[in-house]
Amino acid sequence: MNTTIRALMGACAFGALVTAAAAETTITVATVNNGDMVRMQSMMDAFNEAHPDIKVEWVTLEENILRQRVTQDIATKGGQFDVMTIGNYEVPIWGERGWLAPLSDLPADYDVDDLLPAMRGALSVDGTLYAAPFYGESAMIMYRTDLAEKAGVDMGEMPNWATVKDAAAKMTDKDNGIYGICLRGKPGWGENMAFISAMANSYGARWFDMNWEPEFDTAPWQDAFKDYLDLMTNYGPPGASSNGFNENLSLFQQGKCGMWIDATVAAGFVTDPAESTVADNVGYAVFPNKEGVDNHGNWLWSWNLAIPASTEKMDAAKTFVEWATSKEYTALVAEKQGWRAAPPGTRTSLYENADYTAAAPFAKLTIDTINEATPETPSVQETPYVGAQFVSIPEFQGIGTAVGQVFSAALAGQMDADQALAAAQALTDREMKKAGYIK
Amino acid sequence: MARAITNRRKTINTAVAWAIGIAIFFPILWIFILSFKTEGNAIATPLKMFFSGWTLESYGLVMERSNYFRFFMNSVILAVGSTLLGLIIAVPAAWSMAFVPSKHTKNILMWMLSTKMLPPVGVLVPLVLLFNKLGLTDTHFGLVVVLTLINLPIIVWMLYTYFKEIPGEILEAARMDGAGLKEEVLYVLTPMAIPGMASTVLLNIILAWNEAFWTLNLTTTAAAPLTQFIASYSSPEGLFYAKLSAASIMAIAPILIMGWFSQKQLVRGLTFGAVK
């Protein structure tokens, strides 16, 4: 009898274990190694406590590898990832193709209306949201207030390119290793072309006319690119053709740059006293425009959480995405690491929070620049595409990187501006013909 | 008659050899130093780097964030597994090519080598689709097979070269003494080719350990080796050099230590038959 009871109890215990294991859903989240993403991984105790039935496995990869892996996975319906971290470049393209699950049934307490309109617009196709923004950014000028004061420069809140050039000239002190301006030069559609495209937007240029003909041979592009080369050649650091976001960040933090025009997210890094030697001397201004052109670059980027339509764990994936992009998560980060660490650029409520604006002096400019970005009209001229510092077509990654290599070569002194623009025009024309946009 | 080498020439040769050695080793030394710095110090001027701010902070953060031992064990399984599977296929193949050559042997050898000339990305999509279909993505077995196929031409070529150095008469004598094919390969050929086989094994473990293209593209979590562990510490926005360096040192340390202890064997094997 005893043996029978023991056997039955054992069977029950085993059954309970099996049931518990079966009830647990494991989701795989692919992400990049950004500060905010890493922080999210350290907050997982709260998620696990609230959702003990969902186990999250992380795959953190370098940005380009991640992009390749998730594209490969979603295009081949590989099913390796249940949640993907993707940019606002991919979301509309993948959403339109039906590769992403629509996020149209978010609960009321998620407060979808709290998402910044610019972000929500950039992540929607025909009014349907296909990804939830985790953090977002625009671009702005970060400059050394001490150097500006010493040089007698007044940047103001909305300087134009002439002011920037004048300031760069005055702040440059090459003998002491200080360069007036640091800008991206490393080739890549998300590296130098993000900056140069935004700069071209602010000069009134556009990538394509309404017939998809490239426009590198037009005056606004010529002016923008020649001014970029002029600024970098005369006032930029040596070897700038190898500098991307991180290299410029490190130069600025070491006090080598008078100005740095880049993503707003950089403000958090350059004002961090643990890493930056100039943390107390940083001022901010709006991304410049060419005098008379009502466009400040239209830079808009966000890292977003999206769910592949092919996932078999849709409910668990949605639960995770809702949690990670919720107000509740922002409050959790603030509680554990302070308001300065809250993921920026996604929710209106964050910028209405006095604690956050007090902790992040760059908050107002960030929200203003994000709100002013209009990805649906990137240039003052009419465009056949939407986008911001990129063109939202699948071919842009290849074209943008190829043009970026030509422009980087010009910055390295291997060709002049006219040759680079002519080469960019020819290669873009060829690729657009090959892709069928131009007959 | 051997030429006399002057002391001056000897000094110059030694200096040049040291300079080349240091130049080759310098990136590893640099990574090693950075791994013991804070992110702030890692980007500071070189002088600051050498003389101050040594810390284990990056190692602590990496250990806290990642399951290093899972990545490490996956690397061991993939490197050892693919090398063993490669040997099982390559030993008989190299034996037949070395001792029972046909008129097509040279062409087959060249064809095998030619597969190494194909850019891997050329077969990425077909292989990904095949792996998805067969359920091999993110499995040890799938990766072991792929790594074996990648390194098989090298294993066959190396073993073929070593086997060619062994006089055929010895094998013939073994056969005369009644040894079958199994005994001939296992008890006569293998012991004589041990130095060559050891260097083949070592080299292939190193190649499989360092293989990044396929291991990054065909794994997610369960079979992800140390290459993915390193890739997870590169950041598009923010400083990461110290943590990336710590992760790199942790990833290369096991293979570096193994290479250090077996360098004599490795060099002996690689130069086997070079001088007659």
- For A395-422, the pLDDT digits (tens) are 999 999 999 999 999 999 999 999 999 9
Average pLDDT, chain B: 88
* Residue B124 shares a structural domain with residue B228: yes
Residue B252 within any structural domain of the chain: no
DSSP, residue by residue, B10-55: HHHHHHHHHHHHHHHHHHHHHHHHHHTS-HHHHTS-HHHHHHS---
When pLDDT is averaged across residues A263-284 and rounded to a whole number, the result is 89
B224 with B123, same domain: the answer is yes
User: Nearest by CB to B128, which of A38, A72, A250?
Assistant: A72
Stretch A334-358: mean pLDDT: 92
pLDDT band for position A33 (cuts 50, 70, 90): confident
Residue B246 lies in a domain: no
Which residues lie below 8 Å from residue A352, measured CB to CB, with a gap of 6+? none
Q: So what's the pLDDT on residue B54? A: 86
Range of the domain at B46: 7-59
**Confidence (pLDDT) at A15:** 53
Residue B218 is assigned to a structural domain of this protein: yes
Closest CA in chain A for residue B132: A78
pLDDT of A435 above 50 = yes
Chain A residues whose C-beta is within 8 A of a chain B C-beta are: 28, 32-35, 38, 41, 57, 59-63, 65, 68-69, 72, 76-81, 190, 245-246, 249-250, 253-254, 263, 265-266, 269, 274-276
pLDDT exceeds cutoff 90 at B51: no
pLDDT at B195: 81
Q: Give the β-pairing of A83-87 and A54-61.
A: unpaired
Reported pTM: 0.84
B124-167: per-residue pLDDT in tens?
999 999 999 999 999 999 999 999 999 999 999 999 988 888 88
In a domain, B263, yes or no: no
Least confident interval from B43-57, B65-79, B87-101, B214-228? B43-57
Nearby residues of B87 by Cβ (< 8 Å), 6 or more positions away = B155, B197, B200, B201
| Average confidence (pLDDT) over A183-212 | 95
Q: Which of A33, A81, A249 faces B233 most closely, judged by CB atoms?
A: A33
Say if the Cβ atoms of A80 and B228 lie within 8 Å. no
Token duo for residue A182:
């640091």
Q: Which structural domains are found in chain A, ordered by start?
A: 22-130+301-359 (3.40.190.10), 139-298+380-434 (3.40.190.10)
Cβ within 8 Å, pair A250-B239: yes
Q: How are the residues of chain A apportioned to helix, strand and coil, as percentages rounded to the nearest 5? A: 50, 15, 35
Q: Give chain A positions within 8 Å (CB) of B65.
A: 38, 41
Give the Cα separation of A414 and A409 in Å (integer): 5
- Are B152 and B170 contained in the same domain? yes
Residue numbers in A near B43 (CB within 8 A): 250, 253-254
A54 versus A7: which is more confidently predicted? A54
pLDDT computed for residue A63 by the predictor: 83
With beta carbons under 8 A apart, name residues in chain B contacting A80: 137-138, 220
Output the pLDDT for position B273: 54
Task: Report the pLDDT averaged over residues A49-60.
Answer: 95
Q: Do B120 and B33 share a structural domain? A: no
Question: Quick one: B91 and B201 in the same domain?
Answer: yes
Are residue B79 and residue B197 in the same domain, yes or no?
yes
- Look at residue A13 in the predicted model and tell me its pLDDT: 56
d(CA A221, CA A232): 16
Closest approach of chain A CAs to the CA of B244, in angstroms? 11
Decide if B267 is inside a domain: no
Q: Is B130 on the interface with A (CB under 8 A)?
A: no
Q: How many CB pairs under 8 A join A and B?
A: 90
| Position B49 confidence tier, pLDDT thresholds 50, 70, 90 | low
The last residue of a domain, from among B34, B59, B84? B59
Residue B244: inside a domain: no
Same domain as B129, residue B147: yes
Choose the final residue of a domain: B212, B232, B252. B232
Is there a single domain that holds both residue B76 and residue B49?
no
Residues B114 and B223 in one domain: yes
Whether residue B216 is contained in a domain is answered as yes
Same domain, B53 and B70: no
**How many secondary structure helices (H) and strands (E) does chain B include?**
16, 0
Residues B43 and B107 in one domain: no
Mutant choice from B232, B237, B240, B241 vs A, greatest count of A C-beta within 10 A: B237
Confidence (pLDDT) at B275:
47
Would the CB atoms of A246 and B39 count as touching at under 8 Å?
A: no
Between A381 and A1, the more confident residue is A381
Where does the pLDDT of residue B276 fall: very low under 50, low under 70, confident under 90, or very high at 90 and above? very low
Q: Do B17 and B116 fall within a single domain?
A: no
Q: Is the model's pLDDT at A273 over the cut of 90? A: no
Number of domains in chain B: 2
The answer to whether A275 contacts B220, with C-beta atoms less than 8 Å apart, is: no
Is the CB of A254 less than 8 angstroms away from the CB of B44? yes
Task: Place B208 in a pLDDT band, splitting at 50, 70 and 90.
Answer: very high
Residue with tokens 């009871």: A5
Say what the pLDDT of residue B2 is. 55
ipTM over 0.90: no
Residue B43 lies in a domain: yes
